[in-house]
Amino acid sequence: MFPNLQSKHKLAFASFTASFVLFLSYLLLDDFLFGEEIRKELRAFVWIRLGVGLFFSVILGILTYYLLNLSFKSLKSISQLLQNWSQDVYEDSGEAEREDELGELARHFRIALYQKKTKEETVSQESLNKKERELSDKIQKFFHKIRLHKIKNLDITVFPRSSDSGEADYANIIPTADGCFGVLAGFPNHGAIESSLKARIEGMVSLAQETTGLRGEDLLYKIDRALRATPISYLNLTLFYLETRNGEAGILQFQKLPALVHKNGKTTTLPISKQVFYDFRSTTREVKKIQVKPGEYLVFLSDRLTELTSSAGVNPLLIQLQNWSSGREYKNSRELTLDFGRFLEMESGKKGLSKAAILTVGRVRD
């Protein structure tokens, strides 16, 4: 029976037993301590004395049990915390520790365990985010290798031509029967899912590139229908075509930064899109049509640029870019793109520039 008792019960029983045994020992020894007359008087009250001794022994055992029970609550909390620590789990028992040394020790253990778990969760989340970024970059590096084809009477530049950063937008221009078709696609966030969706768009463009005889306008509508077949949320998208013969350009845009036109040392902005993200639910397509004259350059910028620069919004960035390019004459689209890149590098540095995407196309002559 005794081995099954808890320590606090054993100690309380031991306290009672020791007290009562000492009292009985005193009763047995009092014959030797007092004279004959006193011994006779004490023997008359022996049961009363035994009752008083038993009472005080019981009180002492109960008091010992009470005090030990208070201390054992904190010890139990410490034991539970140590068990949680060893099993790498954290479960709050909900018991409040006492305001004593053991209670303070239990609180320190609880705080230490909580900090340990918080640190482990933070490290685990950071490790997960790092792995996702690495996977995103690998996907981007695998598919984002642009090979531009020469198109008669058009001057084309895409930056970057290749990218191993999952944050960079996908940009490409492919030839059509009457000119070219271009796409600029990206997401505010980056990860394996976003990179996979950009790879899907790249696959659509690659298949379209193998198709011959399609006009740019027809290809724009076909790509738009293909994208709507698989809804992609939070997609910043620009689709456009440009006919080399008459300079007609059609732009379907869903992003913050509008398209730009540069000519004779002046950069102007086209109307800003009403919707920031691609509306795959809409049945109507608002394709804006403009005329691109010889010597004019049509420029499309990634929305990531608004995050890289120190500008507080779209309009300040556009104003700074217009001031930067004001009065500058560019011999070709490559020179224009590199100059825009220098401006962005001044704003965000080389690391930030790797996230950007710039797509430039101009008409050489009629």
- What string of DSSP letters covers 240-284? EEEETTT-EEEEEEESSSPPEEEETTEEEEPPPPS-SS--TT-S-
Q: Which residues are registered as beta bridge partners of 269?
A: 260
The b-or-e profile of 1-23 (16+ CB within 10 A means b, else e) is eeeeeeebeebbeebbeebbeeb
Sheet of 260-263, strands arranged across: 154-159, 358-363, 297-301, 260-263, 266-269
Model confidence pLDDT, tens digit, residues 249-278: 999 999 988 999 998 888 899 988 888 888
User: d(Cα 154, Cα 179) in Å, to the nearest integer?
Assistant: 8
User: d(Cα 311, Cα 324) in Å, to the nearest integer?
Assistant: 14
Sequence-separated (6 or more) residues with CB below 8 Å from residue 260: 267, 268, 269, 270, 298, 299, 300, 301, 318, 321
What does DSSP say about strands 297-301 and 260-263: parallel, antiparallel, or unpaired? Answer: antiparallel
Q: What is the pLDDT of residue 5?
A: 58
Question: pLDDT at residue 1 above 50?
Answer: no
Q: What is the pLDDT of residue 298?
A: 93
Q: Which residues are registered as beta bridge partners of 184?
A: 171, 238
Residue type, 62: I
Supply the mean pLDDT for the chain: 77
Residue type, 265: G
Q: What is the pLDDT of residue 103?
A: 67
User: d(Cα 360, Cα 172) in Å, to the nearest integer?
Assistant: 10
Which pLDDT band, with edges at 50, 70 and 90, does 93 fall under? low
Length of the chain: 366
Q: Which residues are registered as beta bridge partners of 288?
A: 251
The b-or-e profile of 140-154 (16+ CB within 10 A means b, else e) is beebbebeeeebeeb
Sheet of 288-291, strands arranged across: 170-175, 179-186, 236-243, 248-254, 288-291
Average pLDDT over residues 50-74: 69
User: d(Cα 21, Cα 201) in Å, to the nearest integer?
Assistant: 91
Model confidence pLDDT, tens digit, residues 115-165: 777 776 666 666 666 676 666 666 666 666 777 778 888 989 888 877 767
pTM across the whole model:
0.64
- Mapping DSSP to helix (H, G, I), strand (E, B) and coil, where does residue 185 land? strand
Model confidence pLDDT, tens digit, residues 279-323: 888 777 888 999 989 889 999 998 888 876 655 678 888 888 888
